[in-house]
């Protein structure tokens, strides 16, 4: 019966650790959101040139940006300060699989279509140029 005891103990441990992780994640998430809200934008590029820039905010209505280049099509989906490729006809689908980005400096690139989406900071004036690659 000592096995039973040990199992109960480890289950309880996992529960406590899990709860602590969830609480701290929630805390980090809300702290991050309130700190940087509306200071960010997504810079969408096609063929290395800026196609559009859209400022991000948590209360943003969903919107889709359709991109077309060199026979490739992609759709960038923006909602509540998060950006992702919701569709792409590229063969590898790396851009779609990368999921959502929302933090300054993060970016998604679709190589076949030469599309990219980068989160940039609007805090300083040189921020826009600094992220250009
Ligand atoms: Zn792609």
CA distance 67 to 80: 20
From the CA of 85, how far away is ligand 1's center (Å)? 8
Are residues 102 and 70 part of one domain?
yes
Task: List residues bridging with 75 in a β-sheet.
Answer: 66, 87
Q: Which is more confident, 27 or 24?
A: 24
Q: How many angstroms is it from 36 CA to the middle of ligand 1? A: 28
Radius of gyration of the chain (CA): 20
Query: Comparing 86 with 12, which gets the higher pLDDT?
Result: 86
Is there a single domain that holds both residue 13 and residue 67?
no
CB count within 10 Å of CB 99 equals 11
Rounded to the nearest angstrom, the distance between the alpha carbon of 89 and the centre of ligand 1 is: 7
Tell me, in angstroms, the distance from the centre of ligand 1 to residue 119's CA: 17
pLDDT digits (tens, 9 = 90+) for 66-119: 999 989 999 999 999 999 999 999 999 999 999 999 999 999 999 999 999 999
Give me the CATH number covering residue 70: 2.60.320.10
pTM for this structure? 0.65
Whether 78 and 28 map to the same domain: the answer is no
16 pLDDT more than 60: yes
Residue 83: strand pairing partners? 78, 101
3 is written with which tokens? Answer: 């096995």
Same domain, residue pair 48 and 31: no
Q: What is the mean pLDDT of the chain?
A: 86
> Quick one: which H or E segment has residue 26?
helix 2-36
CA atoms within 13 A on the CB side of 63: 12
Shared domain check, 87 and 127: yes
Structural domains of the chain, count = 2
Compute the average pLDDT of residues 55-59: 91
CA of 97 to the centre of ligand 1 (A): 9
Whether residues 48 and 80 share a domain: the answer is: yes
Domain that holds residue 84: 38-131
Between the CA of 54 and the centroid of ligand 1 the distance, in Å, is 21
CA of residue 37 to ligand 1 center, whole Å = 28
Judgement on whether residues 79 and 46 belong to the same structural domain of the protein:
yes
Q: Could you tell me the pLDDT band of residue 127, with boundaries at 50, 70 and 90?
A: very low
Q: Is the pLDDT of residue 129 over 80?
A: no
Residues 26 and 49 in one domain: no
Rounded CA separation 80/66 (Å): 18
């Amino acid at each position: 019966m000592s096995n039973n005891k040990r199992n109960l103990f480890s289950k309880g441990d996992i529960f406590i650790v899990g709860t602590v992780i969830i609480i701290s994640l929630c805390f980090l998430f809300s702290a991050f959101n309130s700190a940087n809200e509306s200071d960010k934008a997504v810079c969408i590029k096609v063929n290395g040139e800026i196609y559009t820039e859209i400022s991000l905010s948590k209360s943003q209505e969903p919107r889709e940006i359709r991109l077309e280049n060199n026979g490739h099509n992609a759709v960038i989906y923006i909602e509540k300060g998060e950006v992702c490729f919701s569709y792409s006809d590229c063969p590898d689908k790396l851009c779609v699989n990368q999921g959502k980005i929302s933090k300054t400096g993060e970016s998604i690139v679709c190589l076949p279509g030469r599309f990219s989406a980068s989160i940039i900071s609007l805090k300083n004036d040189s921020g826009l140029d600094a992220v250009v690659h």
